[in-house]
Amino acid sequence: MVRIRVPATTANMGPGFDVLGLALSLYNIYEFKDDPNSVLDDKNMIHRAYKYTFQAMGKDVVNAEITVEAEIPSSRGLGSSAACIAAGIMGANSIMGNTLDKEDILNIATQLEGHPDNVAPAIYGGLMISVMDEDGIVTNRLELSDDLRFIALVPEFQLSTAEARAVLPREIPLKDAVYNAGRVSILISALATGRDDLIFQGLKDRIHQPYRGVLIPDFDRIIEISRKFGALGSYLSGAGSTIMCIVKGDTGRFLSDMEKYLSRLPNNWRAIPLQPDYEGAVEL
Ligand code: HSE
């Protein structure tokens, strides 16, 4: 039997659309039990990634019963599909004798997911900066100051990535591209040098949030109030529907103020305090 644990991830982080992603302390655990009678279902992302990995290695697929203990809410912008992909590949890799390294796993995962921003931190942990190039994925990893906390505000409604990508424009005006390039640079430099005062400016985005915010009731109000309650900044996590708030140090006051505020809104929002995960996906 193989057991794989994979962290949740928060992608984009404001302006870093399809590029930035951070692993967080919320986990799914996947179990793969050798079972010749089980049937792999191509509609299931874990099964598909598992099967694809055997095929990519030119090996016969070993049928397995796959089960999940899930903490990561699905279709909420917290990387549940990236976790399934990473787990499927790592489960297959383990059964084949661990011949693939993390770089190979990331390349296969990106082929399946289409963009590397969730799968890279799901596999490596930490804050990953990832770009796709002809020869594969180019990545760098950043460790954050250890007093930063990430409070996930998770509504009860789901938002599919396909739906949230469909509302984006096909082309971006040059001034918006420049705007985002500047903000990503400010954000990464702020996180690398501990300039917390720049995080708010560094989270601004004109590529996806203005288009996606309308799909999320109370999006602008929640972002605005989070700042009043002391967040360094907030952003739409991945393709949504979760809103992520970055808070420094003790989160108690922020959490109680935010929970009180959210309880008055529709959609049963809940606030989950998290911290960065630096292990990434591991075999247990
Ligand atoms: N970068 C992706 C998006 C993350 O925003 O669509 C969600 O898969």
C-beta separation of 272 from 26 below 8 A: yes
Mutation pick for ligand 1 pocket among 22, 78, 165 (CB with most ligand atoms within 8 Å): 165
Tell me the CA–centroid distance for residue 113 and ligand 1, in Å: 10
Q: Do residues 4 and 90 lie in contact, with contact meaning Cβ atoms separated by under 8 Å? A: yes
| Separation of CA 161 and ligand 1 centre (Å) | 6
Q: Whose CA is nearest to atom 6 of ligand 1?
A: 239
Q: String of b and e for 178-194 (b: at least 16 CB within 10 Å)? A: ebbeebbebbbebbeee
How many residues are recorded in the chain? 284
d(CA 248, CA 178): 29
Number of Cβ atoms within 10 Å of the Cβ of 48: 17
Residue ranges of domains in the chain, CATH in brackets: 2-142 (3.30.230.10), 148-274 (3.30.70.890)
Q: What is the amino acid identity at position 144?
A: L
In the reported structure, the alpha carbon of residue 38 is separated from the centroid of ligand 1 by a whole-number distance in angstroms of 32
Q: Block means of pLDDT (10 residues each) for the chain, length 284 residues?
A: 98 98 98 93 96 96 96 97 98 97 97 96 98 94 96 97 96 98 98 97 98 97 98 97 97 98 98 98 98
Instruction: Out of 19, 80, 81, 115, give the residue to mutate to test ligand 1, the one with the largest number of ligand atoms within 8 Å of its CB.
Output: 115
Q: Which two tokens stand for residue 75?
A: 């279709």
Q: Which residues line ligand 1 (CB under 6 A)?
A: 11-12, 17-18, 115, 117-118, 161, 164-165, 208, 238-239
